[in-house]
Structure 1
């Protein structure tokens, strides 16, 4: 089959590998002019590890392993440690692998074979599914026809909107916002990752390899803004942390002001009754974003695209049967991931000072054993 994949994030690249490996002619289009690699490290865990082995990428993933989250510490306004985050609070197994997002993107990109082509600075403008195929008009003005379109274009998926309807029909806001900004390399990089909390807020520096990443989280009801408007994002973020001069907060906020590639978004999930319609199917965050609080987004991208490829291989003449099998197999992973996100916000951003103090005491007790 000729398959178009929209988006070259983790799910899009994994789809390119898995669908290409089963004999399909795959084209990936990516709106950005380069691989999208900004963001904090991600986890590969559970059955995704075995699938990564089958994909031939587990060794490369393991070689790039980092332990950023394992060294997370909660500090006070003076920078003194008040509690540490036990591994048991963030990981189900010592087999989980944490890897920089950019490293995983490059591992996946390098694993693409000749059956998959990747086109940057291109995206879908219109889709028309006539039952026998999908006519696609691209933003460049080019047109082409595919047997299948795979939406792997993330939380704000255009493929989902064009095929299933507006984002608001499927998005569940969890009550938090997150931002990431790159900081200048620092001498203490790679040792610990300190985070300062006050009610409803978390700000800190995540260290891994030679990278220092400013991390900002805060509680909020839904905020209406254009998610492509960088200045609007910065205003929201700076207002949320205004009035705080303690520790290294000013330094991190200065980085926010000057960052041309700031990452800012709601902490939200996508809940859909089905991930396919006609000859269009969704994978990864486009289908079932579990949010960064779950720590399972990359794993869901790997398992989902693998299961989709295997289902299509099993039912080459029956797309509906293939899609139904893919959804039936992937749903348990998604349900677990989405359910696991709930406690994460209360752990990182307790809503009150009392809850914050209780969290620190509980973590100290766990550390003491």
Structure 2
């Protein structure tokens, strides 16, 4: 079958590999001008590790493993350590694989088959499913027909919007916003990853290999802004963090305001009663975003893409049967991932000075 995949993130690249490996002809469209790799290191957990092995990628993934979470240290306004974050507090285990997002994307890109078509600076503009196939009109003006369409275009999925309706009908805001930007001049091997909190806010540095990232987070009700308006995003961050001279906050804010590829988004989840309709199916965050607070998004992308491709193969190309089986297998993983958010925000973003002090005392007791 000729299958269109919208989105070239981890879910889209994984689906491309899994579907192409089973003989399908795959075309990928990506709105950005290049593969999306910005963001902090991500985790591969549980059964997703086995999936990575089945894809033949586990050795290359393990070679690129980093351990940034183990180096997290909470600091005070003067930069003095006050507590460290044990892996148990995050629900992590020693078997989990932490890897830079760009490294995992690179492993997937390097494994793409030569006959897979990837088109950048384009996106799906309209879909017409007539039961026998899907006619797709792209933002570029191009029009093509596909046997199936896979929406792997993330939390703000355009394919989901076209087929299942506006995002506001399916999104559940978790009360947190996250920003990640490059932080030049701050890299250093084995240096700690410090985090400073003031009520409802976080400013931190994430280091791995020769890179460093500025991370800003804050608690907020849903904000009315265009998630593609970079200037508006930076003004939101300026308003939230300006006037705080403590520790490295001004330096981190400057880095965020200077980064032309700033990542800024809400921590939100997507809840849908079904992930497929006709010949269109969703995978990854487009289907069941658990949010970055869960630490499960990458694992869900890997398992979902693999289950989808495997069930299409088992069903002999019968997409009706395959989509139902894919969803039956993936939904327990998705629901578990969404439920894992738990008290994560209370650990990294205590709402008051009293809560910050209590968090620090609790973490110190955990490590003895």
TM-score range relative to shorter protein:
over 0.9
**Residue in 1 aligned with 2:156?**
156
1:8 aligns with 2:11: no
99-108 vs 109-118, which deviates more? 109-118
How far did 1:314 drift? Answer: 1.1
Deviation, structure 1 residue 318: 2.6
CA contact (8 A) 2:188 2:209 kept: no
Could you tell me which residue of structure 1 aligns to residue 292 of structure 2? 292
Q: TM-score, normalization: structure 2?
A: 0.98
Q: Distance in 1 between matches of 2:352 and 2:158?
A: 37
Taking a change above 3 Å as real, the CA distance of residues 130 and 332 of structure 1, as seen in their structure-2 partners, is same
Written as runs of structure 1 = structure 2, the 5 A alignment for 1:306-321 is 306-321=306-321
User: For the aligned residues, what is the CA RMSD?
Assistant: 1.0
* Residues 358-369 of structure 1 mapped to structure 2, 5 A cutoff: 358-368=358-368
Q: What pairs with 1:207-286 in structure 2 (closer than 5 Å)?
A: 207-286=207-286
Kindly report structure 1 stretches of 4+ aligned residues shifted beyond 3 Å: 187-190
What residue is the counterpart of 2:322 in the other structure? 322
Q: Distance between the aligned counterparts of 2:238 and 2:151, measured in 1?
A: 33
Query: Take 2:64 and 2:184, find their aligned partners in 1: how far apart are those partners?
Result: 21
**1:129 aligns to 2:134 (yes or no):** no
Following superposition, the deviation at residue 90 of structure 1 comes to: 2.1
Counterparts of 1:1-369 in structure 2 under 5 Å?
Answer: 1-186=1-186, 188-368=188-368
| Structure 1 residue matching 2:20: 3-state secondary structure | helix
Deviation digits for residues 19-54 of structure 1, max 9, x if unmatched? 111111111111111110110000011000001001
- Deviations along 1:129-157, whole A, 9 cap, x unmatched? 01100001111111111000000000000
* Residue 114 (structure 1) shift: 3.0
Q: Structure 1 CA distance, aligned partners of 2:129 and 2:15?
A: 21
Q: Deviations over 1:216-244 (max 9, x none)?
A: 01000010001111110011111111220
Q: Is the 8 A contact 2:187 2:211 kept in 1?
A: no
Q: How far apart are the structure 2 equivalents of 1:314 and 1:302? A: 18
Question: 1:92 deviation in Å?
Answer: 3.5
Deviation at residue 185 of structure 1 after TM alignment = 2.9
The CA deviation at 1:122 is 1.7
- Match of 1:293, SS state, is helix
Shift of 1:187: 5.5
Q: Once the two structures are superposed, what CA deviation does each residue of 1:83-119 show, in whole Å capped at 9, x if it has no partner?
A: 0000112243211000000000010111111342212
Deviations 1:249-300 (A, max 9, x none): 1111111221111110111000000000000000000000000001111110
Q: Distance in 2 between matches of 1:187 and 1:9?
A: 25
Could you report, residue by residue, the CA deviation over 1:179-210 in whole angstroms, capped at 9, with x for unpaired residues?
Answer: 00111133645411000011101101011111
Find the residue that maps to 1:114 and give its secondary structure.
coil
- Distance in 1 separating the partners of 2:128 and 2:259: 38
Q: Please give the secondary structure, in 1, of the residue aligned with 2:215.
A: strand
Q: Which runs of 5+ in 2 are unaligned?
A: none
For structure 1, the 5+ residue unaligned runs are: none
**How many residues of Structure 1 are paired with residues of Structure 2 in the alignment?**
368
